[in-house]
Amino acid sequence: MASSSSSSSSSSSSFAVILVFLVVFTGSSCAQLKTNFYSRTCPKVFDTVKSVVKSAVMKERRMGASLLRLHFHDCFVNGCDGSVLLDDTSSFTGEKTAGPNQNSIRGFNVIDDIKSNVEKECPGVVSCADILAIAARDSVITLGGPSWNVKLGRRDAKTASLSAANSGVIPPPTSTLSNLISRFQAVGLSAKDMVVLSGSHTIGQAKCSVFRARIYNDTNIESSFAKTRQGSCPRTSGSGDNNLAPLDLKSPTVFDNSYYKNLVNKKGLLHSDQELFNGGSADSLVRTYSTNPGAFKSDFADAMIKMGDISPLTGSQGEIRKNCRRVN
């Protein structure tokens, strides 16, 4: 018995050491991210990014949603590492042609402009992954949303993964509530984070091909809203597939809490949107955000910081790309 007890104690000690190591190891990269990372090496980075983003969004307000979405699609595939920006090469196929991204994600030219201006200020210092994080925040602010302190210090991936981007890590618009929750939990985000980050659909647009099944087949949709959307989205596949509709019917270019009001009224454009208010576990939080814009904006800012912490490359990992579209 004594031998068994000693063995058990030894095993427990070993497990404790391993557990501590894992906690330290997994938390270390996020701990290296800090808001003042470039305070000495590139003090004008925030002003430089803000200037380009504000100009682009004021020129085309939809661009604010596009830049925010780029950051999301980057972080959910192998972490916030700028991999989504890489063009295909002879040695690998990037993420741009993945199902969730092809003919969908946009804003690459704006990121190019930002990178070019930042390189003039401080060459070889600021990563493309960090530029995405700052641009997402500045896009939200420009459209009337909340601000938050962006943590920086990410480095850029030297490769991208088409298979990872196609693996379902980015929830499709046909997702159920349980799938949405599990996809977010897989990257360390809670069900609450999922509901509040979905509020980014208060801005932006979607193609007919993405919401066609919702407006013709779903029953949890307000009839007049469905008819309005059907007017520019024919039932027949292949007809009007690229016709756009705003994700938020009320204020499509203003970052507010109208998205949640729409859900309460069964006017979510995507099937996955309405899943947040369909008699399930997210209903109460949707109701809260629909009546409390302050809570939504505060929680959104907190969740964006958490999303930016997903598996960044730091220290000597990766590189600082000179051109966001290709490795050095």
> In the numeric block, which tokens belong to residue 237?
């596949």
Nearest to 68 by CA among 128, 147, 138, 161: 138
What is d(CA 27, CA 309) in angstroms, rounded to the nearest whole number?
10
> In the numeric block, which tokens belong to residue 219?
């029953």
Nearest to 321 by CA among 105, 112, 9, 18: 112
Nearest to 326 by CA among 159, 204, 106: 159
What is d(CA 206, CA 243) in angstroms, rounded to the nearest whole number?
8
What is d(CA 80, CA 70) in angstroms, rounded to the nearest whole number?
10
> In the numeric block, which tokens belong to residue 125?
């210092």
Cβ pair 137, 53 in contact under 8 A = no
Residue 52 in 3-state DSSP? helix
188 conformational bin, left if phi > 0, alpha if psi -120 to 50, beta if neither: left
Nearest to 68 by CA among 188, 160, 200: 200
Question: Catalytic residue numbers?
Answer: 73
What is d(CA 259, CA 274) in angstroms, rounded to the nearest whole number?
10
Biggest alpha carbon–alpha carbon distance for the chain: 79
Cα–Cα distances (Å) from 269 to 156, 206, 209, 220, 279, in that order, read 34, 8, 12, 11, 17
Angle (CA) 137-33-285 rounded to 5° is: 50
What residue type is assigned to position 61 of the chain? R
Q: Which DSSP category does 326 fall into?
A: B
